Chain A
């Protein structure tokens, strides 16, 4: 059996469980809509930093997409802690299946989930007034998926290392929240004081946010997009590489 088949077997198992969890399906799909409905209207009355009017959604929706990816993929490892307790991880590890497949099958299920949520969020934003460059929006979702791949893989490995929700949750919160705030997800960093903007420049996520916003505006062939895409791919590869290496070592 090839690594592709093994990844597929794990992926299908994860997806089946997700789809069978009605609580998850409901909240997983409505959460992006809540952001749009309950936070979006505030943007109309803000001006500065490119905000104000219906154009705000080209700034706001990319931010939401990033948040979706960071939290969605960041907390992916929660599931593997429960699987450890159920014995699922051990019983998969005693098979000759590739260790890479065991982590990538899981990771792909998160990537697909986040991809679906991202598409949904973008579509739901249209009645609110979003008019993006559609090609750009499409590429954006691809960028989101690549980032989620690296983040989810890293999250699974952290789950295996920490082995306990009570340390995993604060860890993920503690890492993702500053990353998100320092990337200008909620409001563009152009509104920030100089010192805060400088700090945000060392945060790789800032480049991803800038890229997705540029893509939504339609600046597809821009330096921002090139830089951001490179950063995204680089970060994803780095995280996925670390994650699979650690996962393999942890699982002998």
Chain B
């Protein structure tokens, strides 16, 4: 990989805060790269340092140490150029003041990004339909639903058509439908517009569904950097749960011969197998059970979740910290 197609190069980026109890190292020197066109998720519990990292990369917070190239510009020496090139979607904020209207806010944002009035108006017309916000120009923000307001927040970050977009907790507080809908929009940004995306989340399903690659953060450090699939594979294989019409002990013996699974346990009226890859293990398992005359009642393949990953990496469950 050559340097030219890196959207972000973070080198020893660190930030500490002064508190009454002494200095707190929120981010302890993180190194990572993001390639053009990637969707990278910063995953971790509250307080892991993911928002602090994002705020440093978006110039909102000056790093205590370290440096980064963001969209080709030096974060420390050319922060204004970084601002010109990136889009930023903040964490969900308080309900906007009554007088704020969607179209005006977006145009104000575009104007501050340096666009003239005509260009901003054209961009508004082109952007709103792609976020299902057509006809909302005159709507006041206070009378929009949570999902609509969140799409407006995304639009704010996209008015100047940046090639690198940061999203901080994009779907926190949204209902499941709005979340799935926003995921679609985020994916389409990359798939249809080639936008590189960095997002923070403490939702496992979101990280899993959206990110090509995950940076798992804990206590100000990156504890893992890999694809969701590889991270899960690292922890354990797949779990296959089988129930049959017949002798379970025989089924266990048959399965053991057919698959050589890592574990092979009869658990109540079910047979639980752990294998490297569940998807390729199921067909030979079914054939073996069939030829042994055991009629299959059900089979389930369960992939290890990112919660399992986080637990293995940090010794703590992510769910305890997530406020959900």
Contact = CB atoms under 8 A, between A and B. Distances in A.
Nearest to A97: B112
Contact of B84 (A10, A91, A96): A96
A16 B60 contact: no
Contact of A82 (B94, B99, B108, B153): B94
A96 B114 contact: yes
Interface size, A (range)? 20 to 34
B59 A9 contact: no
Contacts, number: 83
Contacts of B91: 87
Contacts of B97: 17, 21, 82, 86
Contact of B79 (A16, A86, A252): A252
B99 A17 contact: yes
A94 B84 contact: no
A252 B99 contact: no
Contact of A94 (B88, B96, B100): B88
B111 interface: yes
B99 A21 contact: yes
B94 to A, nearest CB: 4
B52 interface: no
Interface string B92-109: 111111111000110011
Contacts of B100: 17
A88 B98 CA distance: 14
Given A85-B94, A90-B90, A96 B153 contact: no
Given A1-B114, A13-B108, A252-B61, A94 B99 contact: no
Interface in A1-56: 1, 5-6, 9-10, 12-13, 16-21
17 contacts: A1-B111, A6-B111, A6-B112, A17-B97, A17-B99, A19-B99, A21-B99, A87-B92, A87-B94, A90-B88, A91-B156, A95-B83, A95-B112, A95-B114, A96-B114, A252-B60, A252-B61
Interface of B: 58-62, 79-81, 83-84, 86, 88, 90-100, 104-105, 108-109, 111-114, 116, 153, 156-157
